Chains A and B, each alone.
Chain A
Amino acid sequence: MTSEAATSAVSAEEIARLEDMARRIRVAVVRTVKDRKVGHVGGPLSAADVLAALYGRIMRIRPDEPDWPDRDRFILSKGHSSLGQYGAMALAGYFDLDELFSFNKKGSRLQGHPDMNKLPGIDMSTGSLGMGLSAGLGFALGARHLGQDFRTFVLMGDGECQEGQIWEAAHVAPRYGVDNLIGIVDHNRFQQFGWRGETAGHRLPPQESGDLVARFKAFGWRTLEMDGNDMADVVRVLEEAVQPTGLPTAVISNTLKGYGVSFMAGNYQWHMGVPTDEEFATAMADLGESEGGAA
């Protein structure tokens, strides 16, 4: 881990504000899954800090003007973590947090996987893994072609990096020197099922530690690494990532799947799942929320 003290430019109050936003995203994810009795939970929890940093500070966005042409673009390539994105968007002001309870309902704008034609503020529809980095490269090339200075952020999963298309995009991007493209890998060390480890209950991580940094570096990317569940480190590294260097940037965000909820953290069985009433109470307590309180 590369955790260091936050740079002096970012105040402790600002970090605390973003940490609370991440906490509220986690609460919203668990609450929605409990209410709707469906949804991916482990992935959104691991990525909540990155989503809070992006929507709460890093990205140049106008939630009340989601089609603003100069907005930074965001693609959730690991589209099954949509609840985390929806939580971040709601807290950023795109829509009311209560709309999360419509998740997956008939007629909802909040589809299981993000749909740009239904929900303003979604820059690209996703859900079939491996595609986001390519679309993000299209945004980045398009921005440069049109002389626009927006940046494009693509959040991928580490399991998702098993898709060949990721490496097709990784191969082409450095040829065009798109330093307005920032790929972030939520390296939470689990995928849905994966390879069996020592025992039936032990599953191997999708990539060995360090592999993703080495691979993106070998493809010609600038690589950065951070503790993706440490807000000070997340903010510091993402602010470094947006500084142009002539190369696309890959940020390997070391996280833990299910982070923030004691019984979900590091447990592959919480890729999807609905907590019981007891588990829900535990989760809310873990997240510093009194049960029944507003998210």
Chain B
Amino acid sequence: MTLPEGKPLRLVFGETVTELAARDPRIVVLDGDLGSSTQARIFEDAYPDRFYQMGIAEQNMLGVAAGMAKVGLVPFISTFVAFALHRPLDQIRVLIAQTGANVKITAGYCGLFTGKAGKTHQIVDDISVARAMPGMVVISPADEVETKQVMAWSLEYDGPVFIRLVRDVTQRLFEPGHKFKFGQVKVVREGRDITLISTGTQTPRVVDAADILAAAGIDAHVVHMPTIKPIDVAGVVAAAERTGRVVTIEEHTVIGGLGGAVAETLSEHRPTRVDRIGLQDHYTEAATDAELLDMYCLSAERVAQRVQKLLASAGPVTSCE
């Protein structure tokens, strides 16, 4: 059985920031001319005076956000991750991260799903980039339920937060009663044979992969890690100790992202073999979402195949087939 489809996280972003604004007058939205894509348009309709169109000029937008935050507002950023993080990186570093400005970088279109926009828009190193920056919290929620909670939590936290959002329909992992706990992993399936750690909208696909593995007699322990920074050291160690072998799976490069963070943590705290499934050291290309997941070995079927191969192999397995 597979997990059901959920609401696209961009829609959840537009709806949630609007809901939150009803009870938190500090909230403003700064848009880089993509509100019709990121769904910040919902906020603009509800609160035109709290919506600041900054045009196609993202270095300025992040600088303006820093200034607004320092007079007590809480700016949420509306644009694609390429323009929310990579293009204004130095502005984020100097004006936001170094000063601890209370800016929420709600980065849209993270990962592979960009409506076939291809290499320029497919950002699969954002976790690595954001995580390397001192003072930056990095969260990759799994679905609609968790994204809402992460956004609400971000208002209680005084400082910069990077939130990884996804354009298209993905699967729903959590029931409405789920509670996001900042800085903590969440065990989403108990198992004994191998630990699978995932993050963001990849986790539901890993849960489905665990079902496929179960049919093949492999009992996977699946851990969801929404907060990538600060990392839950105890949670990662406990997950590793559970089975003695760890595989990380992310819709992101294996260099410096979730897999990198888990490998760093375990090598210092509980040396354990870690295999990393994710994008290799290359750029990506346009295709349908289903084709992309298949090409890059991130569909439930591909993840299950890969884990089985890893279990049968003494060394690393890097090919997708």
Contacts and interface: CB of A to CB of B under 8 A. Distances in A.
B98 A124 contact: no
B57 interface: yes
Contacts of B99: 116-117, 124-125
Nearest to A166: B60
Given A134-B67, A142-B71, A172 B60 contact: yes
B59 interface: yes
B155 to A, nearest CB: 17
Nearest to A143: B71
B60 A128 contact: no
A141 B69 CA distance: 11
B54 interface: yes
Contact of B63 (A127, A137, A146): A137
Given A125-B94, A125-B95, A125-B99, A148 B67 contact: no
A146 B25 CA distance: 10
Interface in A197-214: none
B55 A138 contact: no
A61 to B, nearest CB: 15
B66 to A, nearest CB: 5
A137 B57 CA distance: 13
A171 B55 contact: yes
A135 interface: yes
Contacts of B59: 130-131, 134, 164-165, 168
B180 interface: no
B67 A136 contact: yes
> In which size bucket is the chain B interface?
20 to 34
Interface string A130-160: 1101111111111101101000000000000
B310 interface: no
Contact of A139 (B53, B62, B71, B100): B71
A149 B98 CA distance: 27
Contacts of A141: 52, 64, 67-68
A179 interface: no
A233 interface: no
Given A124-B95, A131-B90, 16 more contacts: A116-B99, A124-B66, A126-B94, A131-B63, A134-B59, A134-B63, A135-B95, A137-B63, A139-B70, A145-B73, A146-B71, A165-B59, A168-B57, A169-B57, A169-B60, A175-B53
17 contacts: A116-B70, A117-B98, A117-B99, A125-B98, A125-B99, A131-B95, A134-B61, A135-B63, A136-B67, A138-B65, A138-B71, A139-B67, A140-B67, A142-B71, A148-B71, A168-B60, A171-B57
| 6 nearest A-B pairs in the assembled complex, by CB-CB distance | A138-B67, A134-B63, A168-B60, A168-B57, A142-B71, A138-B64
